[in-house]
Structure 1
């Protein structure tokens, strides 16, 4: 009888939520009221313009997703921080699309939590308050997991850019030493190489072709990636371009500095791995060794006693 009571309480809560959402439904905006009477610029009717949407359910759920995105914006990470991490991870998603994915992950977590709560209620008769807390934790944890996944992707791509920097710097130095200018060398390297850093370099060159100064485009690239060695590398290139110093020598020096920074980072990571390796040694291998060393003596004492 208890599982049916739990399902009935859940259905009642959903019904109350739907009624309250209908009562406090937002009035349509001016754009939404004028949309059926306005013909888009492509000449099609508005209904035809919207008919190409992939999922009808997605269009119906758009207001709910938008409201949930505002809640995540208020209580979670800011839009500026999300935009920065999206740029660093190389993602083409907008902030709104990322918030929609967070809401979708939260909905999946909510479904998993509800299934687990129902199973625990049927099998063990767990308290209702505990099950509601479990469902809330699952939903919140899924939304936070999407945010943590983005942070991990951004950090991974930043580390990849740092590892690619010495090779790109050497190629730029060779191109400049062969007689090409700074922009021509960057275009050649960006066109003939593949990876995270060449992709960022192509984006910076596209901004420069659009009218932005090359030094400003390179500085924006360094800020966007968040890699400190790349920022020092770009500062050296900008200083060489502004002061007129030999660019090839500056690029070779920057490549050497990038390799030294990479070795230092590897040594730092190796030191952290050594500390992590102490955990199984101290808490697993050492106790087993002590047991094997003392157990025969204890048995001998017991037998002789």
Structure 2
């Protein structure tokens, strides 16, 4: 490493440390009015507060306690840049993650910081070996950091799709079990309670939340409507709406549940057939671009060699 580059890195580290030390001076980090009254309002939103930082189920809660003010400030800046808090909140609910938008933004910052750090280490090694220039490597590190921030958002969408797939796979079985319980003489609430206690999975957790809402004072129809709005799945929305309509109008609930289970299984079969058709088209790509040229080459190569020998 050249002396100029080493001096620049040391200067950058010294300047960064100086800026952090100055920003942490008491006269520059006065608490805001929200931070002052937050410990006295902790019971209003049901969240526990520890030293001004909300305690949550996030895997980064320990880092949040250590660097809470800086991370929350960065999360607010990131929210102003990216926006879309309502979409994030809806996708977090559909993914079954008990996190706030602020915690998700903090996770995005940590993902971006980790990606930037890994790229920075690789860039330092490359510059030390004489590969590339420092300015290009710095731009590369910044791009990798942005990609890390966006990767967390993409992973959230993947979590939503995986959970919706699990919900759709569990729905026919849960509908059949509810039909059996209702046919045995149990009421809708008792049948939901029995199925929620007997099953394991994401849909069983959603049914437990529905029962918790009914015990808190909400009607079963309203809790089912909230389930349909929370999941966002068309099949599950039809299931909840059909169950609510059957309860309100007194129609035979067991027949409705069996019919819905049959419809869901039929929709699953159609989706499987469509997926197989798409996979069949995708399987033609290696056949056309790999197997077919190789076959043609093996067929025409002996003839080409024979023609060359005769001409020679």
TM-score (normalised: structure 2): 0.84
Gap runs ≥5 in structure 2:
43-49
Provide the C-alpha distance between the structure 2 equivalents of 1:55 and 1:225, rounded to a whole number of angstroms: 26
Secondary structure at 1:93's aligned position in 2? coil
Gap runs ≥5 in structure 1:
42-48
Provide the C-alpha distance between the structure 1 equivalents of 2:61 and 2:181, rounded to a whole number of angstroms: 50
- The change in CA–CA distance for 1:174 and 1:70 in structure 2 (over 3 A counts) is same
Secondary structure at 2:299's aligned position in 1? helix
User: Structure 1 residue 29 and structure 2 residue 35: aligned?
Assistant: no
Give the drift of 1:124: 2.9
Secondary structure at 2:89's aligned position in 1? helix
Report what 1:157 is aligned to: 163
Q: Which deviations, in whole Å up to 9, do the C-alpha atoms of 1:184-211 show, x marking residues without a partner? A: 1111111111111111111111111111
- The change in CA–CA distance for 1:80 and 1:56 in structure 2 (over 3 A counts) is closer
Asked whether the 8 Å contact 1:3–1:122 carries over to 2, the reply is no
Asked whether the 8 Å contact 2:76–2:102 carries over to 1, the reply is no
Give the drift of 1:112: 0.7
TM-score (normalised: structure 1): 0.86
Provide the C-alpha distance between the structure 2 equivalents of 1:56 and 1:162, rounded to a whole number of angstroms: 35
Secondary structure at 2:154's aligned position in 1? helix
Report what 1:140 is aligned to: 146
- The change in CA–CA distance for 1:143 and 1:241 in structure 2 (over 3 A counts) is same
| Alignment partner of 1:69 out of 39, 58, 75 | 75
Report what 1:278 is aligned to: 284
| Alignment partner of 2:229 out of 205, 223, 226 | 223
Aligned residues: 297
Report what 1:45 is aligned to: none
Secondary structure at 1:124's aligned position in 2? coil
| Alignment partner of 1:174 out of 172, 180, 186 | 180
**Structural RMSD (CA):** 3.1
Give the drift of 1:214: 0.9
